[in-house]
Each structure stands twice: as structure tokens, then as C-alpha cells.
Amino acid sequence: MGEKTKLAVSPAIQVGGSLFTPDQLAKIGTVAGSDTKIEMTSFKQLYLEVPLDKREAIQEELEHAGLEVYPAGFATKSLIACNFCKGAEGAGLETARILNRAIAGIATPTPLKIGYAGCALGTSEPLLKDIAVVKMRDTFDIYVGGEPKGIKTVTGRLLVSGLTEERLVFVVSTLIDFYKQQAKGKEKFSKFVDRITMEQLKQIVA
């Protein structure tokens, strides 16, 4: 048995949510093989174990089928977005795709989940993610420090409000970079926010 590695696979961000086509599911099954277990994660990615020496070829096949492929494990997850029930334009579909391309798959001290909601309904439960982006009409609010696990869940706290679309990627990327530089070992992002303080984070993204 050769060395194995895991790939994180997700469908493109789109109106209607996380939608796979039958052809995409068939392609995943084909490249994974009949003896591979495929894990459905809580962050809308499928984990599949593949031979390390075939990783690049398998990734290329999956991407050719319209799927997105990222590193598994300690990295920023692909954007956990809503279903865009307000429509592609109203809920900022293209903005979400741009943000996803900028942040997904970055190596981080612990797995980092970033949520996106196209309106205040927040159907993707963004405030339970490490970083949350909520579209409010023509601007965006950023929340940080959500923690869904345990019996004492914590919702994210408002860091920035009224953010323009032009500054969105910069602010989220800055938060990720600062976390990478300043985290202590495998410090969870929610703990990191508590230690660093909201005031310092506001200065960092100002």
C-alpha cells in the first residue's frame, strides 16, 4: 500500500447552496475507488483519501468536472455560504466567489471556518463560524470568534460594520494572516480572539 493523502472536495458556490450534479458524484466515486471511504464534513466538504502519487491527476479530474479541491485538515475551509435565497445579485454571489478564491485552502494553526450570509437571515449560521461575513444591503459586517462545539456555544462578535465590497477580501485576509502569525501553537481561533482582544483586532483591520 502506497502513501495516502486526503482531499477536500466541494461544489462551486451557487444559488441553491451546496449542489452536486449526478455526473460530479459519479466522478468522485470513480476517482476514489470502491474501497475508499468518503466523509461528509460539517463544513460542506467531502473528504476522500487518495494515493499521494496520484493526487495531482485526481485533483485535475475533479476540477475538470466543475468541483473545487482544497487541502484537508489544518487550513481555511472553503467558504460556508448560504443558499442565496435573495438572488445572486442581491445576496452577493460573485462577491462570495471572489472571497472564497482568496481565502480557501490557506494553511492555518487549526482548521478555520469562514461563513457567508447574503442577508441578515443568516441561514448558513455564519455567527457560529470563526469568521463571519454578513451582507447588509450594499455593505458587509464582519463577526469573529464563533464557537459551535460544546454545551456552551458562543456566537461571533461584531468586529467591523458597513464594510465596502472593495475592502472585504483585504479585511478577511488580514485576519487570517494575523492569526497565522500570532497564534500560540494549535490555538483555536475563538481562544485567539479572546486573548488578543477585539480592540486589537479592530486596529489590525482598520
What domains lie within the chain, and their CATH numbers? 4-71 (3.30.70), 80-205 (3.30.413.10)
Nearest to 97 by CA among 12, 9, 11, 7: 12
User: What are 31-57's pLDDT values in tens digits?
Assistant: 988 888 899 998 899 999 999 999 999
What sign for the dihedral angle of Cα 179, 45, 20, 18? Answer: negative
Q: In what order do the strands lie in the sheet with 157-163?
A: 80-81, 114-117, 131-136, 139-144, 157-163
| Confidence at residue 1, expressed as pLDDT on a 0 to 100 scale | 57
- H or E, element range at 162: strand 157-163
| Confidence at residue 152, expressed as pLDDT on a 0 to 100 scale | 82
Rg of the chain (C-alpha set): 17
Whole-angstrom Cα distance, residue 6 to residue 138? 38
User: What are 135-144's pLDDT values in tens digits?
Assistant: 999 999 999 9
pLDDT mean over 7-27: 95
